[in-house]
Structure 1
Amino acid sequence: MERVTGAVRQAGGVVRTAALRARGYSRRSIEGAVSSGLLTRPRNGWVADPTADPYLVAAARAGVVLTCHTEARRLGLWVLRDDTVHVAAPPHHHVGELRNGTHVHWARPIVPRHPDALVDPIENVLALVASCLPHEEALAVWESALRHELVLRESLERMPLPTAARSLLAECSSYSDSGLETFVPVRLRFLRLPIRQQIWLAGHAVDFLIGDRLVLQVDGGHHVGAQRRSDIAHDARLKLLGYHVIRVDFAQVVSAWPEVHDMIVRAVAQGLHRAA
């Protein structure tokens, strides 16, 4: 029984019994592990390690796969919201018990789903994100996936993407370090000024250079302590070189964008983006 429980953990913690049988484990050893409490049975035909990811166990119980921003977050992609669990199932598929508020996507997948899968392939995840999330948030997830090299742009370009997904792909940049940096170019497009990302100035990369001289830095949660002191020193060097620096943080970009917008447009109105 220890061998079969080890195989379940190696397979991710939740697995079809048919997959275990195909690997040579007997029905008797599987049933013995369940009877002794070494494995649980989320649904007929599935077994799980008691310490398995609850999301995977719930997906097996309901006969669905994790997808959209739920799976994007599990993959470590930049996701702003974490409100509702999103799953997918084939059209007309009978879905088992789901947690209240779970959103089911019934759209046909771009990449076929294996019957043993409990998570959607990244291409399906991105396609559903494109149609489900607001534009800025969806773009942030897509750019994060490309930046982490979970999928290649060239591969996506060859796939039959829905219109919303293909539009996002065309807009994606490879320069944003976070979703916050994705939001900024979209929101400042109306200025019709060059906005360059990750430009090397005075020994360090800056998040955005607007025009020739206006620098916008967007701080994440790690900008504290030594990092904060380094940021202040870099800002001082930039100012001595004739740049104007606006530094904002996560909360300002997400929840107080009008304040950031006002600072930028007033700096532009004063010509602080132009070289002397």
Structure 2
Amino acid sequence: MLRQLGGVAPVSKLVDLGVSRYHLKLEVKAGTIRSVRRGWVALPEADPQLLLAASTGTILTCITQAKRLGLWVLHEDAPHLAAPHPHSEVKDRRGVIHWAQPVLQREPGALFDPVENVLDIVGMCQPFEIALAVWESALHAKMVDLQSLAYLSYRGRSRRLLEESQPYSDSGLETFVRVRLQWLRVPIEPQAWIHGHRVDFLIDGWLVLQIDGGHHVGAQRTEDIRHDAELMLRGYQVIRCSYEQVVHRWPEVQGLIQRALARGRSPAR
């Protein structure tokens, strides 16, 4: 039963399922399960993050839970945890503690937030473009949709994130680029299809911007080079940049785009 509950659970839930407290005490004494804190037990091999939440009386949320859900997260500086209620007392603070009123009520005994709460807290905690990348990652993965999110009581920056989010970005890098190029007075089409192939961005109808993540190696890299050549033969110009350039050397990428647009499209020969 404990394994079915994720490896960590309140004693009260196990008792409700028919396990006697006496049996639980015997199992703890034998070392087959462990006591996490008063009223909580876990398997010895239980998820360390769930153990952290259970032992501190908190809930995994924000970028920590976003990462657990497989969403795009730039970096995680420390575990991000939520107090069960805005006025809860959290004595053991191992990480970043969030006290906000959740958008969705939390089930008693929950150890992690639902994605709707995660997005709201990410919106309050992280810089705007990083938060937007997490939101768009959830939309792209179809964990949520804009229509259902619109009915929830998001406020402040979370409401702005809702209004600006799009479900098209394959990665947070594409979100960063879209936000950072909004000032350009030219049409920018993300995830554009050109002659049967998708490109990350089509700028002004002729300039292709491709962003290489960590998977652009080996056969993928070979296919990228072939596709770039095909695009250029068809009259497009291609700029390809890396994770390092987008995250840490953005002015370099922006300068390439500005110079390409200033020069204009090469005339067909």
The two structures have a TM-score, normalised by structure 2, of 0.96
Residues 156-211 of structure 1 deviation map (CA, whole Å, 9 limit, x = unaligned) = 10011112111111111111100000011110111121111111113310000001
Counterpart of 1:3?
none
SS in 2 for 1:198: strand
> 1:192 is aligned with what amino acid?
R
Task: Give the whole-Å Cα distance in 2 for the aligned partners of 1:163 and 1:192.
Answer: 28
Task: Give the whole-Å Cα distance in 2 for the aligned partners of 1:151 and 1:31.
Answer: 41
> 2:166 is aligned with what amino acid?
S
Q: Do the aligned partners of 1:214 and 1:273 also contact (CA within 8 Å) in 2?
A: no
- Structure 1 residues 122 and 155, CA gap change in structure 2 (3 angstroms): same
Counterpart of 1:91?
86
Aligned residues with identical type, % of pairs: 53
Counting only pairs closer than 5 Å after superposition, residues 208-247 of structure 1 correspond to structure 2 as 208-247=201-240
> 1:138 is aligned with what amino acid?
A
* Alignment RMSD: 1.5
The two structures have a TM-score, normalised by structure 1, of 0.94
- Structure 1 residues 260 and 240, CA gap change in structure 2 (3 angstroms): same
SS in 2 for 1:143: helix
Q: Does 1:53 align with 2:47?
A: yes
Task: Give the whole-Å Cα distance in 2 for the aligned partners of 1:22 and 1:96.
Answer: 28
Residues 89-134 of structure 1 deviation map (CA, whole Å, 9 limit, x = unaligned) = 12221214232xx111111111011111000111111001111101
The gaps in structure 1 that reach 5 residues or longer are: 1-6
Task: Give the whole-Å Cα distance in 1 for the aligned partners of 2:14 and 2:69.
Answer: 25
Q: Does 1:81 align with 2:103?
A: no
- What's the CA shift for 1:78? 0.1
The gaps in structure 2 that reach 5 residues or longer are: none
> 2:193 is aligned with what amino acid?
W
Task: Give the whole-Å Cα distance in 2 for the aligned partners of 1:242 and 1:78.
Answer: 34
- Structure 1 residues 151 and 274, CA gap change in structure 2 (3 angstroms): farther
- What's the CA shift for 1:135? 0.7
Pick aligned residue for 2:134 from 127, 141, 145: 141
- Structure 1 residues 228 and 27, CA gap change in structure 2 (3 angstroms): same
